[in-house]
Amino acid sequence: MLLSQTLCLCLALAFSSAAPTLHDVMMAGPLDHDHDHEDQAHHKANPDRCDGIEFDAIAPDEKGHTFFFKGDHLWNGFNGPAQVSSAFFKELDDYHHLGHVDAAFRMHNKEKPKDHDHIYFFLDDKVFSYYNHSLEEGYPKDIQLDFPGVPGHLDAAVECPKGECNSDSVLFFKGDEVYNYDIATQSVKERQWAHLPNCTSAFRWLEQYYCFHGHNFTRFHPVSGEVNGVYPKDARHYFMRCPNFGHGGEAKVPKCSEVTLDAITSDDSGKTYAFTGHIYMRLDTHRDGKHAFPIARTWKELDKGVDAVFSYSDKIYIIKGNQVYIYKSAAPSTLIEGYPKSLKEELGIEGPVNAAFVCADHHIVHIIQGQKMQDIDLSATPRVVAREVPLPIAGIEAGMCGPDGVKVYVGSKFYHYETPRLLAFSKMSPEPKKITPDMMGCVE
Ligand SMILES: *[C@@H]1O[C@H](CO)[C@@H](O)[C@H](O)[C@H]1NC(C)=O
Ligand SMILES: *[C@@H]1O[C@H](CO)[C@@H](O)[C@H](O)[C@H]1NC(C)=O
Ligand SMILES: *[C@@H]1O[C@H](CO)[C@@H](O)[C@H](O)[C@H]1NC(C)=O
């Protein structure tokens, strides 16, 4: 409950002036650490991003911290004041001409682990490669040496992994030209997306692509350039917390000991969702930080929270009260026609349900109600409870089956079993484990 209260507070703030197509609400992740302030005397006065500025570049690092660059300053994350860039990327000060960067992106290149997750900065006709906030040997070098066919004096750059682009690629922007650079073949396709404003920075965040121009941004499709929805939007409503822009308060990151889950599931593509109160959190997005969203943003019929969620055969089943909602897993989540249906009709049971999970490639959904577990074969019709067993532990509110076994959540702790069978029949309960910052983006 506490998690939902604190998160709902910050999301309510985030939402108060949000547009209906809101796609970009975020809470500060646990990653926004305070860094020591260096002596800033010889730098220009700290810019304020709430004034409505145009960023030079935006890029995440290998840990999922997002950096916004302006002149010789940067912001680390969606919260907090400007800091001197060289406090984070030390060598930037050694190159005295480097008062700013033109463009930056984080490399996605699984073929070449040596380059993967490096941040590349572009200035004039030079490129700088950083990893772990250290400049790699041999850099800076001419852009042409690393990215043949890509011009100097760029405006913006953004990674585009295979799956979202046809191959692992980088999109470079200069004026109204877009250079689609294929990392493996080093080939460049040049195009113009006349309807897209000239981007002065570009950012990929949670599988979406954003072109920033002035203090606005426009979301676009990385292959077609298509823009859907009402754009531009003012970045101050979405990517930073500014007074008078709906983000009046500081996000309060909950304590791990206060986190309780209503449901948790992982779909076939590995997307993992934890649900609590009115919000859900993606847990598999290490590269972009962990972020909370209102459940109704993705599953719009579920504005009153959920009781249990499981994934089965490219679909996500959400149980609330006596109803089952079935959605296609693929984005955007769409409710399957004819749903919601009653639990009785769909699964042959009465609600409420505390937790539910299916193990990969199995057809059995394990439904936990109070201190009993019922197994229902999803491949059979009609669906009936094939087996019911009492459970050794009480108070389970959420459960998930993954490659490493079953985890069931009781309050802010969880129990780990290798199989559903062991959950049902173990004579001794394992020691409960605590939810950690690593798991849920909470603080100790
Ligand atoms: C990252 O840099 C820090 C400090 O510069 C260093 O202590 C650490 O060993 C580095 N980690 C890796 C993985 O290189
Ligand atoms: C976009 O870039 C092109 C080419 O550099 C330039 O001619 C045009 O004026 C720019 N548009 C805006 C709105 O700045
Ligand atoms: C930002 O968007 C507003 C309206 O949506 C528009 O009036 C303004 O010209 C835009 N500014 C830039 C630099 O794109």
- Which residue out of 216, 219, 231, 237 has the highest number of ligand 3 atoms within 8 Å of its CB and is therefore the one to mutate? 216
Q: What is the rounded average pLDDT of the residues 350-373? A: 95
Give the number of whichever ligand sits closest to the CA of residue 214: 3
pLDDT class of 239 with cuts at 50, 70, 90 = confident
Res 5 pLDDT > 70: no
The structure tokens listed for 50 are 């709430």
Q: How far apart are CA 439 and CA 428, in angstroms?
A: 25
Which residue's CA is the closest to the ligand 2 atom numbered 14? 198
**Nearby residues of 157 by Cβ (< 8 Å), 6 or more positions away:** 57, 59, 103, 104, 105, 120, 122, 170, 171, 172, 173, 202
- Report yes or no: 201 and 58 within 8 Å, Cβ to Cβ: yes
Q: Which atom of ligand 3 is nearest to the CA of 231?
A: 5
In Å, how far are 46, 151, 207 from 233, measured between CA atoms?
25, 29, 18
Domains and CATH numbers, the chain: 49-237 (2.110.10.10), 256-440 (2.110.10.10)
Q: What is the rounded average pLDDT of the residues 84-107? A: 81
pLDDT of residue 206: 81
Q: Is the CB of 175 under 6 A from ligand 2?
A: yes
Q: Is the CB of 198 under 6 A from ligand 2?
A: yes
Res 38 pLDDT > 90: no
* Residue 367 or residue 194, greater confidence: 367
Distance 132 CA to ligand 1 centre (A): 6
What are residue 127's DSSP bridge partners?
A: 122, 141
Q: What is the residue type of 201?
A: S
- Which residue out of 155, 198, 218 has the highest number of ligand 2 atoms within 8 Å of its CB and is therefore the one to mutate? 198
Strand order, beta sheet including 291-294: 263-266, 272-276, 279-282, 291-294
Which residue's CA is the closest to the ligand 2 atom numbered 2? 175
pLDDT of residue 285: 78
Which residue's CA is the closest to the ligand 2 atom numbered 12? 198
Residue 79 — φ and ψ, nearest 5°? -125, 155
Res 8 pLDDT > 60: no
Give the number of whichever ligand sits closest to the CA of residue 212: 3
pLDDT of residue 36: 33
In Å, how far are 69, 158, 231, 365 from 60, measured between CA atoms?
11, 10, 23, 38
Q: Is the CB of 176 under 6 A from ligand 2?
A: yes
- Which residue out of 155, 174, 176, 218 has the highest number of ligand 2 atoms within 8 Å of its CB and is therefore the one to mutate? 176
**Nearby residues of 39 by Cβ (< 8 Å), 6 or more positions away:** none
Q: Which atom of ligand 3 is nearest to the CA of 197?
A: 14
pLDDT class of 100 with cuts at 50, 70, 90 = confident
Binding-site residue numbers for heme are 247, 291
Q: Which atom of ligand 2 is nearest to the CA of 176?
A: 2
Distance 88 CA to ligand 1 centre (A): 13
Q: How far apart are CA 151 and CA 193, in angstroms?
A: 18
The structure tokens listed for 429 are 């309960």
Res 156 pLDDT > 50: yes
Dihedral sign, Cα of residue 313, residue 317, residue 322, residue 323: negative
In Å, how far are 35, 73, 85 from 88, measured between CA atoms?
9, 10, 6
Res 212 pLDDT > 90: yes
3-state secondary structure of 95: coil
Give the number of whichever ligand sits closest to the CA of residue 62: 1
377-424 pLDDT, tens per residue? 999 989 999 999 999 999 999 999 998 999 999 999 999 999 999 999
pLDDT of residue 252: 60
Distance 215 CA to ligand 3 centre (A): 8
Dihedral sign, Cα of residue 143, residue 148, residue 154, residue 157: negative
- Report yes or no: 251 and 399 within 8 Å, Cβ to Cβ: no
Nearest of 388, 409, 118 to residue 265 by alpha carbon:
409
Q: How far apart are CA 36 and CA 50, in angstroms?
A: 22
Q: Is the CB of 214 under 6 A from ligand 3?
A: yes
331-355 pLDDT, tens per residue? 788 999 999 999 999 999 999 999 9
3-state secondary structure of 347: helix
Q: Which atom of ligand 2 is nearest to the CA of 198?
A: 1
Q: What is the rounded average pLDDT of the residues 285-296? A: 79
Q: Is the CB of 348 under 6 A from ligand 3?
A: no
**Percentage of residues in the chain having pLDDT higher than 90:** 59
The structure tokens listed for 370 are 């109070």
Which residue's CA is the closest to the ligand 2 atom numbered 6? 175
Distance 236 CA to ligand 2 centre (A): 24
